[in-house]
Amino acid sequence: MAKLVLPAGLLVLLLLGVPMLLMLRYSFNEYDPLYIMQQAFTFENYAKAVVDPYYQKILMTTITVALTCTVLTTLLAYGPAYWLARMESRWKSKLTILTMFPLLVGGVVRSAGYLALLSTTGLVNATLLGLGIISEPLTLLYTPGAVIFATVGIVLPYMILTLASVIESIPRQVEDAAANLGARPATTFFRVLVPLSLPGVLAGASLVFILCMNAYATPLLLGGPQFQMMAPAVYEQFAKASNWPFGAALAFILLMVTIILTTLGSSVIANRYKAG
């Protein structure tokens, strides 16, 4: 078994580990306008990213948006995931494929679709105007709400599929037994189904949170120039400012914050349900 895993492990190490280590080394170099960077070993780039109020605000915005999207996605996904998992119809496989279909489209294309949906002449405003609910188009684009709405729509299939696979492995008889013992549907859901499906909740929430923390196209296209998140800020340092050391430092701060918050969140949720 180890021999089968070894080639894949070496490939991952080569394609991901080596570039990450190289980027880590870049983050300790000094910026040079002429040569991009000079070899050094300084924490100045990390200190600037942590102390500067501008980048503090960007990091807090990123965390807030990612947490909000993760919570909303979990709440919205549970119902469809349960319905899909318990379905016994011949349409189940087709609906599963339909749920996966948005994942076949690139994030940039999906974000562009939300541009058409939320613009002043888009479907939402056209429908509201046609129904007479509003008298003039609403400003939906280039707002935090637009970023959250589109991000939730983009990551929702990941959560639905993850939850559905776990709920499907839970015997239906467990719910029937709880009902026979007098448990109400809400009690069965919170005391039986949620604890048993917790691995799927944690896996899906972790995946969604990581994707939201590293979102690039959606905040860039739907948030506008005044709305900043970490991934576009990292790209700006590399592509526009040509400040590779500072861009690398921002990237590793984003990576470490994502890992720490994901680990802490998973541990807190798991310990809470174990204690209950």
pLDDT tens, residue by residue, 232-262: 999 999 998 999 999 999 999 999 999 999 9
Q: What DSSP string runs through the chain?
A: -HHHHHHHHHHHIIIIIHHHHHHHHHTTSEEETTTEEE----SHHHHHHHH-HHHHHHHHHHHHHHHHHHHHHHHHHHHHHHHHHH--STTHHHHHHHHHGGGGS-HHHHHHHHHHHHSTTSHHHHHHHHTTS-SS----SSSHHHHHHHHHHHHHHHHHHHHHHHHHTS-HHHHHHHHHTT--HHHHIIIIIHHHTHHHHHHHHHHHHHHHHT--HHHHHHS-TT---HHHHHHHHHHTS--HHHHHHHHHHHHHHHHHHHHHHHHHHHHHHHH-
- Is residue 271 predicted with pLDDT exceeding 80? no
Give the distance, in angstroms, between the CA of residue 106 and the centroid of all CA atoms in the same chain.
Answer: 15
Across residues 71-94, what is the average pLDDT?
A: 91
| Helices 53-86 and 230-239: angle between axes, nearest 10 degrees | 130
**Angle, to 10 degrees, between the axis of helix 107-118 and the axis of helix 123-130?**
20
The first and second tokens of residue 179, run together, are 């009902």
Q: Are 209 and 66 in contact (CB under 8 A)?
A: yes
Q: Which domains does the chain have, with CATH numbers?
A: 55-275 (1.10.3720.10)
Contact yes or no for 266/206 (Cβ under 8 A): yes
Q: Are 30 and 245 a contacting pair, CB within 8 Å?
A: yes
| pLDDT tens column, 181-230 | 888 888 888 888 888 898 889 989 999 999 999 999 899 989 988 899 99
**Does pLDDT of 64 surpass 60?**
yes
pLDDT of residue 216: 92
If you count them, how many residues does the chain have? 276
Tally of CB atoms within 10 A around 152: 22
